[in-house]
Amino acid sequence: MMLNIGCAYPNSLHEKDGSVLFLIRGEREKRLVVIGDGSEVFRELEGTVSSNEGLRMKICDLSVANSHVIRKHFPHTRPVSLRKFKTTVGLGDRLGVASPGHIELMKGYDVGPVLAQQSIRELTLTGRTFEDVLSDVVWAVFQEGYSGGFGADGDHLKSMEEVKLALDTGYTMITLDCSEHINNITGLSKDDVDRMYIEIDKGTRERLERRFLSGEFKLESGLKLMFSPEALRLNAVIYQKAIDFAIDVFCEMIKPCPRELDFEMSIDETPTPTDPLAHFFVSLQLREAGVDLYSVAPRFCGEFQKGIDYIGNLGQFRRELKAHQGIASHFGYRLSVHSGSDKFSVFPSIGEETKGHVHVKTAGTNWLEAVRVIIHRDPGLYRELHMFALEHLTEARRYYHVTLDISRIPDMLTLRDDELDGLMNQDDARQLIHITYGLILQEKDESGAYRFRDRIYRCLYENETLYSEFLRKHIGNHLKALGLEGR
Ligand SMILES: [Zn+2]
């Protein structure tokens, strides 16, 4: 194979035990080149060996197996706990090509990036695995020569098995989604609550009553929390199973893990906002059971819909955020804000109230910026995606709750190519493309070939620099709105 060194990624140059490694950009895919066969890393990587003027060289695919070899020999390519960072940001990347842009941005900030972050739902919808997601990130970190540290989040894990899978794959953050253990019934009568409370075992009830009914809790923030017997019973009925589940997961899976882990408890996927009293009820018990929390994700008031700004009362949001922050500071963890993509109107209060000690997750917005690249460079493909999304909207709505109204989406047929970009600034069109990503990526034609997937990847590969530029600008705007300053 002819090697065109001009296509090498300059930051990807690494050296180990006499071998030199770097990534090159081929016409269709990137490859790893290793020169000098004296090292263990040369021997362990899978690839094609050739000799040139006495130099032995190996050309390798950016495979999952090879990413393990890279992780073994280059510690900065392994995910780590991000506790040392005050601010951390989740950057879910559904396609596995956004990390170079994210890293370029993060080089300018003192912010811990979670570069690998996918939920089981996202893995199913994109046809990827935890291994694939992490491997793509490892190669991006290698390409960019990034040694600032990054996390890998098994997001919204709902069972012991899912947690185990993420941990076995090397993930360093576990976001435990307790929604299936939260009793989400609203409008219960007092009698219903009393009846359900009695079903909780007697020992637990006595412990809860001793702990929560013996007086007021005063937090350093000035927040005072007082449980009436009714409030205690209600919170126990709603949350006790979720608390017990989180304690079990922590004791069985998180604590015994030899790596340092960032453990998040998410109670955000509920129909009603988390009452600060409920937040405290959950966290006090976790703390007293020895659970070391990195972050807690409450469900905030208003709506955090995918890919668009916050919908709700900003004043009320700030008041409730302040109360939740008081609880988070009391226990020493950070609040985690889910569905943080594009929530520009609440970022200033989040930045101020948490003083930057916060975790904000984004995901869908990175996909939407990829679609923006397609609009700019292959408008014909975008038009096909748009039509397909409109045709499959009903199906997509099963996975995501959004208020999108198609009648507000401008008729694409009346738009010129240079006007299509405006669709990515229109809430309904954003949500249309946001929630249909899984269907778009998985759609196959009669011959069994992907209808859009390969063309999407090709367009993004050919326009890697433009995608990176869009991400730096757009995610950079998120960081600025949170009040973060670049280095
Ligand atoms: Zn969430």
Domains in the chain: boundaries = 5-73, 82-365+477-481, 376-469
**Dist. CA 179 → ligand 1 center (Å):** 10
113-169 pLDDT, tens digit per residue, is 999 999 999 999 899 999 999 999 999 999 999 999 999 999 999 999 999 999 999
Q: Is the pLDDT of residue 186 over 80?
A: no
Q: What's residue 402's pLDDT?
A: 86
Q: What's residue 487's pLDDT?
A: 86
Q: Which CATH number fits domain 82-365+477-481: 3.40.50.2000, 3.20.20.70, 3.40.50.1100, 3.90.1640.10?
A: 3.20.20.70
* Residues in Cβ contact with 447 at an 8 Å cutoff, skipping those fewer than 6 apart: none
Q: Is the pLDDT of residue 4 over 70?
A: no
Cα–Cα distance, 122 to 116 (Å, whole number): 12
Residues recognised as catalytic: 155, 264
Cα–Cα distance, 414 to 83 (Å, whole number): 50
**Dist. CA 338 → ligand 1 center (Å):** 5
Residue 483's CB is within 10 A of a number of other CB atoms, namely 16
**Dist. CA 310 → ligand 1 center (Å):** 15
**Dist. CA 356 → ligand 1 center (Å):** 20
Q: Helix 190-198 and helix 229-249: axis angle, to 10°?
A: 40
Cα–Cα distance, 91 to 105 (Å, whole number): 12
Q: What's residue 6's pLDDT?
A: 62
Across the range 169-188, mean pLDDT stands at: 91
**Dist. CA 369 → ligand 1 center (Å):** 21
**Dist. CA 325 → ligand 1 center (Å):** 18
Tokens of 408: 């507000």
Q: Is the pLDDT of residue 214 over 90?
A: yes
Q: What's residue 269's pLDDT?
A: 84
Q: Which residues surround ligand 1, an ion (CB under 5 A)?
A: 268, 338
**Dist. CA 339 → ligand 1 center (Å):** 6
Percent of the chain past pLDDT 90, that is, above it, reads: 93
Record the pTM. Answer: 0.95
**Dist. CA 266 → ligand 1 center (Å):** 7
Q: What's residue 187's pLDDT?
A: 80
Q: How far is CA 22 from the centre of its chain?
A: 28
Q: What does the mean pLDDT of the chain come to?
A: 96
pLDDT-derived band at 185 (thresholds 50, 70, 90) equals confident
**Dist. CA 214 → ligand 1 center (Å):** 33
Cα–Cα distance, 198 to 201 (Å, whole number): 7
281-302 pLDDT, tens digit per residue, is 999 999 999 999 999 999 999 9
- Weakest mean pLDDT among 61-65, 224-228, 271-275: 271-275
Q: What's residue 184's pLDDT?
A: 80
189-208 pLDDT, tens digit per residue, is 899 999 999 999 999 999 99
Q: What's residue 89's pLDDT?
A: 98
Q: How far is CA 131 from the centre of its chain?
A: 15
Across the range 32-39, mean pLDDT stands at: 96
Cα–Cα distance, 66 to 238 (Å, whole number): 46
The type of residue at 221 is S
Cα–Cα distance, 265 to 212 (Å, whole number): 21
**Dist. CA 371 → ligand 1 center (Å):** 23
Q: What's residue 438's pLDDT?
A: 94
Q: Is the pLDDT of residue 32 over 70?
A: yes
**Dist. CA 271 → ligand 1 center (Å):** 12
pLDDT-derived band at 2 (thresholds 50, 70, 90) equals low
Across the range 31-36, mean pLDDT stands at: 97
74-114 pLDDT, tens digit per residue, is 999 999 999 999 999 999 999 999 999 999 999 999 999 99
Across the range 468-473, mean pLDDT stands at: 98
The type of residue at 33 is V
Cα–Cα distance, 408 to 428 (Å, whole number): 7
**Dist. CA 190 → ligand 1 center (Å):** 30
269-285 pLDDT, tens digit per residue, is 888 899 999 999 999 99
**Dist. CA 89 → ligand 1 center (Å):** 14
Closest residue by Cα to residue 478 from 326, 389, 368, 386: 368
Q: Is the pLDDT of residue 1 over 70?
A: no
Q: Is the pLDDT of residue 3 over 90?
A: no
Cα–Cα distance, 389 to 433 (Å, whole number): 6
369-420 pLDDT, tens digit per residue, is 999 999 999 999 999 999 999 999 999 998 888 889 999 999 999 999 999 9
Q: Is the pLDDT of residue 52 over 90?
A: no
Q: Is the pLDDT of residue 26 over 60?
A: yes
**Dist. CA 147 → ligand 1 center (Å):** 28
Cα–Cα distance, 92 to 83 (Å, whole number): 19
Across the range 321-331, mean pLDDT stands at: 98
Q: Which residues of 442-475 are buried (b: 16+ CB within 10 A; e: fewer)?
A: eeeeeeeebbbbebbbebbbebbebbbebbbebb
Q: In DSSP terms, which residues pair with 303 in a beta bridge?
A: 311
Q: What's residue 67's pLDDT?
A: 98
pLDDT-derived band at 188 (thresholds 50, 70, 90) equals confident
**Dist. CA 43 → ligand 1 center (Å):** 42
